[in-house]
Amino acid sequence: MATLENLDDLATAVSDALGEIGYEPAMAHGELTITVAIEDIVAVLTRLRDSMQTRFVSFIDISGADYPARDKRFDVVYHFLSMYQNHRIRLRVAVREEDMVPSITDVHPSAN
């Protein structure tokens, strides 16, 4: 399997892996960031882990950011590594204060 050469290749591979699941891509700090809906986070991470084009099997970390002026004031931010493709990806989910973010530990047990 050929490795992905650049972020454009990665963006294409992510699009192929996610299929009909909606997301918003952005390039930031030399990494691809995708913003997904809260209800899609588990499906997105499963597809990015299992796709032979992406293979994001290494969970790096999870963090949060607070934007008090926004309706969905919190961002939950996940970072992953594909050792096979030598790429990193950032996933972001915007949530309201009362939202419950689904656990990703069934997809990435190290997130526990």
pLDDT digits (tens, 9 = 90+) for 6-20: 888 999 999 999 999
Mean pLDDT to the nearest integer, 98-109: 96
What is the rounded CA–CA span in Å between residue 98 and residue 81? 30
Say if pTM beats, i.e. exceeds, 0.85. yes
pLDDT of residue 29: 81
pLDDT digits (tens, 9 = 90+) for 74-93: 999 999 999 988 899 999 99
Tell me the average pLDDT of the chain. 93
Length of the chain: 112
pLDDT of residue 5: 66
* Among 57, 42, 46, 49, CA closest to 103: 42
pLDDT digits (tens, 9 = 90+) for 36-63: 999 999 999 999 999 999 999 999 999 9
